[in-house]
Amino acid sequence: MNQAQTGAPMRLGVCYYPEHWPESMWADDAARMKALGITQVRIAEFAWSRIEPQPGQYDWGWLDRAVKVLGDAGLQVVMCTPTATPPKWLIDQHPDILAVGADGRPRRFGSRRHYDFSSPSWFEASQGICTAVAQRYGQHPAVAFWQVDNEYGCHHTVVSYSPAAAQRFRLWLQARYGDIATLNEAWGTVFWSMEYRSFAEIDPPIETVTEAHPSHRLDYRRFASDELVRYNRMQVDIVRAHSPGRPVAHNFMQMFNEFDHYKVAADLDVASWDSYPLGALEEMWFAPQIKARWLRTGHPDFAAFNHDLYRGMSRLPFWVMEQQPGPVNWAPWNPAPLPGMVRLWSWEALAHGAGCVSYFRWRQAPFAQEQMHAGLHTPDNQPDLAAHEAEQTAAEIAVVQATGLDGAVRPRVALLFDYEAKWLFEIHPQGADFHYPRFAFGYYSALRSLGFDVDIIPTDAPLDGYSLIVVPPLPVLPQGLAQRLAHSGAHVVIGPRTGSKTVNVQIPQHLPPGPLAEVMPLRVWRVESLRPNVTEVVDASALNLPQLNALHWRDLIEADAAVEILGRYADGHPALLRHGKLHYCASIFDEAGTRDVLAHIAQSAGLAPQRLTDTIRISQRGGLVYVFNYDTAAYDIQGVDAAAFVVGAATVAPQGVAIYRQAAPSQ
Amino acid sequence: MNQAQTGAPMRLGVCYYPEHWPESMWADDAARMKALGITQVRIAEFAWSRIEPQPGQYDWGWLDRAVKVLGDAGLQVVMCTPTATPPKWLIDQHPDILAVGADGRPRRFGSRRHYDFSSPSWFEASQGICTAVAQRYGQHPAVAFWQVDNEYGCHHTVVSYSPAAAQRFRLWLQARYGDIATLNEAWGTVFWSMEYRSFAEIDPPIETVTEAHPSHRLDYRRFASDELVRYNRMQVDIVRAHSPGRPVAHNFMQMFNEFDHYKVAADLDVASWDSYPLGALEEMWFAPQIKARWLRTGHPDFAAFNHDLYRGMSRLPFWVMEQQPGPVNWAPWNPAPLPGMVRLWSWEALAHGAGCVSYFRWRQAPFAQEQMHAGLHTPDNQPDLAAHEAEQTAAEIAVVQATGLDGAVRPRVALLFDYEAKWLFEIHPQGADFHYPRFAFGYYSALRSLGFDVDIIPTDAPLDGYSLIVVPPLPVLPQGLAQRLAHSGAHVVIGPRTGSKTVNVQIPQHLPPGPLAEVMPLRVWRVESLRPNVTEVVDASALNLPQLNALHWRDLIEADAAVEILGRYADGHPALLRHGKLHYCASIFDEAGTRDVLAHIAQSAGLAPQRLTDTIRISQRGGLVYVFNYDTAAYDIQGVDAAAFVVGAATVAPQGVAIYRQAAPSQ
Amino acid sequence: MNQAQTGAPMRLGVCYYPEHWPESMWADDAARMKALGITQVRIAEFAWSRIEPQPGQYDWGWLDRAVKVLGDAGLQVVMCTPTATPPKWLIDQHPDILAVGADGRPRRFGSRRHYDFSSPSWFEASQGICTAVAQRYGQHPAVAFWQVDNEYGCHHTVVSYSPAAAQRFRLWLQARYGDIATLNEAWGTVFWSMEYRSFAEIDPPIETVTEAHPSHRLDYRRFASDELVRYNRMQVDIVRAHSPGRPVAHNFMQMFNEFDHYKVAADLDVASWDSYPLGALEEMWFAPQIKARWLRTGHPDFAAFNHDLYRGMSRLPFWVMEQQPGPVNWAPWNPAPLPGMVRLWSWEALAHGAGCVSYFRWRQAPFAQEQMHAGLHTPDNQPDLAAHEAEQTAAEIAVVQATGLDGAVRPRVALLFDYEAKWLFEIHPQGADFHYPRFAFGYYSALRSLGFDVDIIPTDAPLDGYSLIVVPPLPVLPQGLAQRLAHSGAHVVIGPRTGSKTVNVQIPQHLPPGPLAEVMPLRVWRVESLRPNVTEVVDASALNLPQLNALHWRDLIEADAAVEILGRYADGHPALLRHGKLHYCASIFDEAGTRDVLAHIAQSAGLAPQRLTDTIRISQRGGLVYVFNYDTAAYDIQGVDAAAFVVGAATVAPQGVAIYRQAAPSQ
């Protein structure tokens, strides 16, 4: 492990919209892309109205010429299917394409993603346009890579409550449960007389007087996710049929959890994602002071989390399909990245294993919704800061790849991440701020602050090779996972509420932690959620740790005598427990507490946790170590020989990057 | 007064759902109920889909057997009509049963209370199921008590804007006003050309461009309340016809004010209510720091307020039909009661005159919306803390009843509480936080902190026997009330805005306080509402009181020379006035100010106010005094002979209860 | 300039609703109006249901008598068209009159302004009632003045999304763009495949999945404003045809920006507005502590801003058509004005050039939505404070007019104010709190604190005669404005984002500041918006100014070498630039910073800025100086001879007014 591998690609790309600009500019654009060191060019993902301006009448001329210009310049084209933006004539022909909101009203044309995954008209129309594009460019020599659709689910478009969705949901339920009695039993519809006599009686779970049944709601979310999986697979199959041998990707979104990305990625060759560290900071759960602190850099662990997540679900090296190059337009506030950040983010992606970082977009568009979204060039076609930073990155990539040390990322620490957990806690929170992604990110950030590379993995991933596995609150433990964790050889840290639900959203027969109790004999006999202005303190002196602050939640636990109590609340209830290598946290600890607990357990696991400041992050890929400085001050790397530096030096400037050769194999 | 009465019942009950559990468990459940000291078992209020699984096909077998099991164990059954949860087949047959929201859209099936009080189909279907259940069990020897429906109005279901409601509203208006000219005059529709030419032109007051007419809105609220009254009376009449001699109750909700509870209760034998002190704390108006302070005990005056309210409107001793036994599921956050609180709450109910405290529920259900709602037992059928506390309470009841001193609650202090006042201030607030229940509770809490037992009474209640009567802001003074207050013999404290409206929501001819001016010659010539960050100080040195802080509101008053000015604002306007025994407050004073004013007036009234800390509350029922300790520290009762204690002792543990014999009649 | 003019009118009026009161009261009301010094009486603007109680059946009797009573008392009647409140029978006849909200649902009858400017039925019905009223009273000797409709747009009623509006929007687009290809190009619909094949394909921009196209949205706002202009012109034309020679006004609202008031005012003789300083304070953007500070006075610059705005757009002297006389009913909280404030507000209006101040209303109505809105008299017909203050004001007017110095307001400072700017920043904010009216008001308030009289002017106003012109952020610079500013001779201060958009909402070809760059060679190559908890400091030591605090926004600028950099951010970017007399601010400075910058530039412009406290304001009209004291303490005017005072004296009481003769012409 941690030995260098060679041959992994490190490429740069860009998103390009020839249809937005005069054809006379294309050749110059292509030449300058090449000159900057860009090799991949994504096109056409929103171009349906230009490809098929009238129903059934295709206009390939402009796109043929655009592809030729790019190919002639030595660039590789990432061709897209344009299904994220069905044109107006199609919507007018088939109004049932429009998804229906939770308010029971159909959405309208005029932005994007105005479609319903369950609409038969839409499915057919999508097959048509995908086939047309794939046939046209599937064998084109300049086309090296595909992207299907664009940002599935963006703007809350995974779930629709249309009649078509309702009809397909009933079929989905029938397939899952077989007969209605089984469903009634599985859900527990006897409660509140919600029993159904047939699948035909079941509607989408909206506009109810008070909350709808949680099993009903979770199944609707699963169904919606499966509809998306089916739709994606249709597109992938069409592209593969007409363009064999070329990787097919989709560009996922950052910390977006409304469908099961593992399932969609299983049908792709490449999981790519769109990285907007500043926009994300504004839009996510972070407190105002955190948003101000990382205003122009983004949170140091946010892009990294997504890199590690998508790396794991990608068969080939993952991509950053869209990289923020400057201010964006879509967050409530849109500050500019500090000089150097675009380079830093690019190297951060590569250090986490990215095969390509593709900037969004070549040139800022002067019109429409995203006219305030920066690009590598300003609308008047002058290079913006990001163009220079991309160019520098391209040059540095050549240096790094020349070392032959640009191998794989091989973490010894894993974090389990599960999409259904997010939906379940959202549907059935019990505490209004029990926010799964926030908690998972909290554990991740603590691990990164200890200097660890991290794999983010699904519940069915192999667990061997890890020394430390962190399981954020995982309500439904799949069959066998508890045993696999116990026998993985790793130290395991498990969050509260784990094993608290069956797959049908019931409380397990012998109470939480459900199947986990087979390997860690606990009984969670009571739980309580805590409002934000309440903190419980935990005495962790058994571990020589300072007092921990517990937030959000308490599992009250009866533990078998064989289980060690490592920490207790003031009222004596266990707060942190150990059984063999398994550790159970009965609450969410605050940032410092999480870090202290994980550092202690990592040490026990034979790892060597560091104590990085919150502005310094370290990654290892192949035989190289990457240091990222998010600080406003320079950072001095200690104990590394000056000759070891491949990029930068021991003093890392603010927003700087340093890359050095690993002194010796770490074990 | 305050003399002991004997024979008042003190019983414990439980809510039980045999349909949720295997029949094989029933007998054991019943035996253990009995063993705990429980005697009353409420069943079937959500069981329609099991009673009538197909239209017109009843399945009585299971319910017959359940009743028999309970009866055989010596338990008394509280049988319910199951109308809170109409089954899906009924909704599909009659979609007009679904109520329509203020957004003009019908609600959907999938939770509970999905019905419209004005729907003729629903009225007929309700008659059918109620008759069927009442016929089946009306004479059953195990059935001793009835509950009709469940928590009327829960989840904002009092008011519907359906076509059926609109139609019945027009009839209601016609009955109230006779002809349209009278309505136009009563409402003042000449304003903004809102005049109607016939009742048929009048619609529900929703979706208007700006606020709808306040008289229109208040009448719609009155109409909706009356629809509920009519619906309840239908059920009560059916049950009484088939089950004569058995009390009929409904279980009201805590501090729920969307219909006129006095009117509904007038048709019942027993007013019962559902007590969830922790859930209420989270959901009500309390500030975050108050919510944190009473996190695991609830506010010491909240359950008491409801006890005193429902006691007054119940012909037989009121019940707590559902008592919180542990964490609930439905508040934003759901902490656990401290050990001892379930016992404390139970005794608190009994001390305030409850005839029965019934725990919700026997065993936590492992499925559906309320799976996180604790019971006396966990889902794996182990006793939870509350089971032990119930058992202790049952044993203590026996001791208390053996004293023969368990008589009636006989307060000398009354608080007027009015439902229409709440609606009117909500419709016509003039100050955005003029919140009637909050203000009424503020006066109540101050009275309790002075050690007083309190009757909460409607505006038409007899006033004799009271030494102190508090009238929170009462916009509409019913005919004769002012005179009755003046001649009651009691000292009376009256809040601002009293008498500020006529019954049709107009300003009284000679301005506020309207009819009150006949007995207290004031003229409120101007009013102003104050935003939350504004406080006005009041000089109350005439009463030797410290400066008062006035909030929310100012009545600016011209007073007859005969009226004494007891307190003035900094700008000289009267803030507190006295005329004989009548006292008028021109503002809402803060907590300390309210307490100081009431203490002073109580003293004048010949009462002996104590100064309890906010954690200690005292009640008297019959010949016994009950002390409740909400504190985290023990409390020492002074001056009571050790031999006087029936339960507990002079040192009351945190969350503890002590009960002692009253030394001598207080007067 | 600043020389006294004589003969300008200063009158008082009142809003009166004879239909609300018994006819027996009318003559006494009229006599008392006269006695108070009131000469103008507005009537009938909500009286449709009394004028036409049944379709086509007019009842003129009562209104004829009311007009006669007023005329006989020597009062002049302001007659209104009653279109703000169509009666129920009309709505039932033509339900399409109801506007449709952004939720796609029609509004309902039951308040006011329930009409759609684009409805053909409504247009026709309005022509009918306006013609009827204008024919009846157009030549009546007592009718001296007209008001059409009432408060256009109140309660968000400018924009409707009805089918009728959609249809007229398509025609509007066709007229603007000619052919669909031009529209597609102008908007940039190629983005996200939003291209249209015909105007018929275009819908209102609502219920889209994410934000609709900004050009589409801005054009919809322009269209809606134009619909209102067309509707107003129809009314004005009818009134003028039947009542030649009498001025026609509309009563606009305070700081209301949902339509282009300049365009509507161009069709009127008099722009009047409705002044509610306390209600406005509560409802506008001010922070809670500001709302508490000016609780009972209103913000000292708020009414003034509106006076200066409407003065500029009024052909004849503007009116305050409704003046707040006491507490209102419609703000979240409704405090009472301090004694003296009604007089102060009245004089403030007159000092800013008002021709009439008309109090709303004669007597508080005891019924309906506004029953808590004070008047000159209480509902029991007693004079309220405002009646006395009006009477005092009337007496003082006589004194002032007797000086012969009551001429015109002649500012040397102008502020550009633009309605489309507000819409554009609302549609396309880029920073969530980029609030145009707030920023414009910030500049205005700073200018007033420096003692300046200010003209608020549209972008096409003549610029000559000004020494200082302030341009708040103006995204679209009309053709020629940049040159006119540069050659105006004035010092010009320009806010950030000026010139940042073309008229079609695109980024200008050479980037912002677009056409401004022709006269001030800048290139805004990047922008960033800043969240509220972020402040950037600016070093303005080049101007000997203290450090400035920059908020909300940064333009990052490349400036030609000829441009002076007067202030820089900590990272070196220019924050304040000068080129000749043109000054460009790259951010919004805070209150102190804005004042410092404007004071400095004003000094350079040859003006003599004063440093008034925030409680003192000064105005000059004709040969008189008006001093307004918003303080709680008295204010001493320095250096004015006692003999110069026309009203008041050198010591101005709290909430007081002083008026004195200007010592000598200022230039």
pLDDT at position B406 is: 83
Core vs surface per residue A362-396: b (16+ CB within 10 A) or e: bbbbbbbbbbbbbbbbbbeeebbbbbebbbbbbeb
Closest CA relative to residue A145, chosen from A312, A350, A356, A352: A356
Chain C residues 315-374 with a CB less than 8 Å from chain A: none
> For testing the chain B interface, which of A523, A528, A556 should be mutated: the one with the most B CBs within 10 Å?
A528
**If you measure CA to CA, which chain B residue comes closest to A514?**
B380
Residue C3 pLDDT: 33
Q: B413-604: which CATH number, 2.40.40.20, 3.40.190.10, 2.30.40.10, 3.40.50.880?
A: 3.40.50.880
**Strand ranges (E), A7-100:** 11-15, 40-43, 76-80
Q: How far apart are CA A639 and CA A267, in angstroms?
A: 45
A102/C contact by beta carbon, under 8 A = no
* Shortest alpha-carbon distance between residue A129 and chain C (Å): 14
Mean pLDDT of C529-545: 97
Give the gap in angstroms from C-alpha A340 to the nearest C-alpha of chain C: 14
Q: CB of A436 within 8 A of CB of A478?
A: no
Quick one: DSSP state of residue B144?
Answer: E
Is the domain covering A10-156+221-267 a CATH 2.60.120.260 domain?
A: no
> What residues of A are in contact with residue C508 (Cβ under 8 Å)?
366
B173 phi/psi in degrees, rounded to 5: -65, -40
Span between the terminal Cα atoms of chain B, in Å: 8
Q: From the candidates C20, C57, C109, C632, which should be mutated to test the interface with B, based on the most B CB atoms within 10 A?
A: C109
CB atoms within 10 A of CB B94: 17
Please, how many CA atoms are within 13 Å of residue A324, restricted to the half-sphere of its CB? 30
Residues on chain B touching C85 (C-beta within 8 angstroms):
192-194
3-state secondary structure of A54: strand
| CA-based nearest residue in chain C for residue B211 | C111
Q: Say how far apart CA A259 and CA A223 lie, in whole Å.
A: 10
Is A322 considered catalytic here? yes
CB contact under 8 A, B526 and C384: yes
Residue C72 has pLDDT above 90, yes or no: yes
**Domain ranges, ordered by start, for chain A:** 10-156+221-267, 163-216, 413-604, 616-661
* C-beta separation of C628 from C616 below 8 A: yes
Measured distance CA(A5)–CA(C217) in Å, rounded:
54
Burial class (CB in 10 A: 0-12, 13-18, 19+), B141: exposed
Chain B partners of C92 at a C-beta cutoff of 8 Å?
201
Per the CB < 8 A criterion, the answer to whether B452 and B313 are in contact is: no
Q: Say if residue B4's pLDDT is above 90.
A: no
CATH classification number, B12-154+220-402, choose in 3.20.20.140, 1.10.490.10, 3.40.190.10, 3.20.20.80 = 3.20.20.80
Instruction: For residue A178, give every residue at least 6 positions away whose Cβ sits within 8 Å of its Cβ, in sequence order, or none.
Output: none
Q: For residue C664, what pLDDT is reported?
A: 64
pLDDT value of position A665:
53
Asked if residues A520 and A513 have their Cβ atoms less than 8 Å apart, the reply is yes
* A-chain residues near C529 (CB < 8 A): 327, 333-335
CATH class of B616-661: mainly beta
Q: C655: pLDDT confidence band, cut at 50, 70 and 90?
A: very high
Q: What integer pLDDT is reported at residue C629 of this predicted model?
A: 98
Q: Which residue of chain B is at minimal alpha-carbon distance from C326?
A: B526
Contact present, C226 and C232 (Cβ < 8 Å)? no
Burial environment of residue B571 by CB neighbours within 10 A (0 to 12, 13 to 18, 19 or more): exposed
Q: What is the pLDDT of residues C573-600, one digit of tens each?
A: 999 999 999 999 999 999 999 999 999 9
Closest partner residue to C369 (CB to CB) among B213, B431, B507 is B213
Give me chain A's average pLDDT, please: 97
Contact C219, C211 (CB under 8 A): no
Tell whether ipTM is more than 0.85: yes
* Gyration radius of chain B's alpha carbons: 26
Active site annotation includes A591:
no
Average pLDDT of the segment spanning A341-350: 98
pLDDT tens digits, B409-422:
999 999 999 999 99
Residues A505 and A215 sit within 8 Å (Cβ to Cβ): yes
- Exposure string of A135-156, with b = 16+ CB inside 10 Å and e = fewer, is ebbbebebbbbbbbbbbbbbbe
As a whole-number percent, the residues of chain B with pLDDT over 90 amount to 98
Closest residue in chain C to residue B195, using alpha carbons only: C49
Q: Specify the residue for token string 């009442």.
A: B134
Which residue intervals of B511-663 are DSSP H helices?
Answer: 591-604
Chain B residues 494-513 with CB within 8 Å of chain A: none
CB-based contacts of A620: which residues, under 8 Å, 6+ apart?
A: A2, A351, A409, A410, A453, A626, A662
Which residues are B43's β-sheet partners?
B79
Using CA atoms, how far residue B12 sits from B39, B42, B318, in Å, is: 6, 11, 13
pLDDT of residue C2: 31
User: How many Å apart are CA B194 and CA B213, to the nearest integer?
Assistant: 9
Determine the distance in angstroms separating the CA of C40 from the nearest CA of chain B, rounded to an integer: 22
Q: How far is CA B223 from the centre of its chain?
A: 20
> What pLDDT sits at residue B667?
43
Of C648, C645, C649, C637, the closest CA to residue C662 belongs to: C645
Question: Residue A361: how many CB atoms within 10 A of its CB?
Answer: 21
In B139-168, the residues whose Cβ lies within 8 Å of chain A are 154-157
For the stretch B10-50, pLDDT in tens is 999 999 999 999 999 999 999 999 999 999 999 999 999 99
Which pair of tokens denotes residue C290? 């500001």
Reduced 3-state DSSP string for B450-479:
CCCCEEEECCCCCCCCCCEEEECCCCECCC
Closest chain A residue to B383, measured at CA? A525
Q: How many CB atoms neighbour CB C167 within 10 A? A: 13
Q: Does position B666 have pLDDT exceeding 90, yes or no?
A: no
Tokens of C39: 């000469």
**CA distances (Å), A454 to each of A262, A583, A607, C154, in order?**
17, 19, 13, 57
Alpha-carbon distance C578 to C555, whole Å? Answer: 15
- How many CA atoms are closer than 13 Å to the CA of C78, on its beta-carbon side? 32
CB atoms within 10 A of CB C582: 23
Dist CA B478 CA B491 (whole Å): 19
Token pair belonging to C531:
């969240």
Query: Three-state DSSP class for A394?
Result: helix
Nearest Cβ partner of B511 from C86, C369, C380?
A: C380
Catalytic annotation, pick one of A45, A227, A282, A322: A322
In angstroms, the CA B57 to CA A664 distance is 80
Mutate to test the interface with B, among C63, C117, C289, C369 (most CBs of B within 10 A): C369
> Rounded to whole angstroms, how far apart are CA atoms C368 and B428?
10
The reply to whether residue B88 touches residue A188, judged by beta carbons under 8 angstroms, is no
Taking the CA atoms of A600, A577, A511 and A479 in sequence, report the sign of the dihedral they define.
positive
Cis amide leading into C513 (omega within 30): yes
Instruction: Give the 3-state secondary structure of residue C324.
Output: coil
In this predicted structure, the answer to whether residue A5 has a pLDDT above a threshold of 50 is no
Residues B11, B37 contacting (CB under 8 angstroms): no
Contact B663, B623 (CB under 8 A): no
Per the CB < 8 A criterion, the answer to whether C201 and A92 are in contact is: yes
CA distance A658 to B8: 83
Please indicate if the annotation marks B531 as binding a ligand. Answer: no
Cβ atoms < 10 Å from Cβ of B72: 12
> Which helix (H) or strand (E) is B660 found in, with range?
strand B657-661
Per-residue model confidence as pLDDT tens digits over C482-527: 999 999 999 999 999 999 999 999 999 999 999 999 999 999 999 9
Radius of gyration, CA atoms only, chain C? 26
Counting every residue, how long is chain B? Answer: 667
Contact B107 A208 (CB under 8 A): yes
Mind telling me how many Å the CA of A657 is from chain B's nearest CA? 44
What's residue B664's pLDDT? 64
Please state the residue numbers annotated as binding site of C for substrate: 112, 150, 330
The class level of CATH for C11-158+244-402 reads alpha beta
Residue B663: pLDDT band with limits 50, 70, 90:
confident
State whether residue C357 is helix, strand or coil: strand
Token pair of B255, please?
A: 């501090």
B192 reaches C (C-beta below 8 A):
yes
User: B255-274 pLDDT, tens per residue?
Assistant: 999 999 999 999 999 999 99
What percent helix, strand, coil does chain C show, rounded to 5? 35, 20, 45
Among partner residues B333, B335, B372, which is closest to A432 by beta-carbon distance? B333
pLDDT at position C666 is 46
pLDDT digit string, tens, across residues B344-386: 999 999 999 999 999 999 999 999 999 999 999 999 999 999 9
Residue C466, pLDDT above cutoff 50: yes
Q: Given B201, B203, B527, which is nearest C108 (Cβ)?
A: B203
Contact list, B425 vs chain C (CB under 8 Å): none
Distance of CA B138 to the CA centre of its chain: 29
Secondary-structure breakdown of chain A: helix, strand, coil percentages, each rounded to the nearest 5: 35, 20, 45
Q: Residue A664 — pLDDT band, cuts 50, 70, 90?
A: low
Tell me if A511 and B88 make a contact (CB, 8 A cut-off). Answer: no
Mean pLDDT calculated for residue range B223-229: 98
Question: Out of B45, B258, B322, B420, which one is annotated catalytic?
Answer: B322
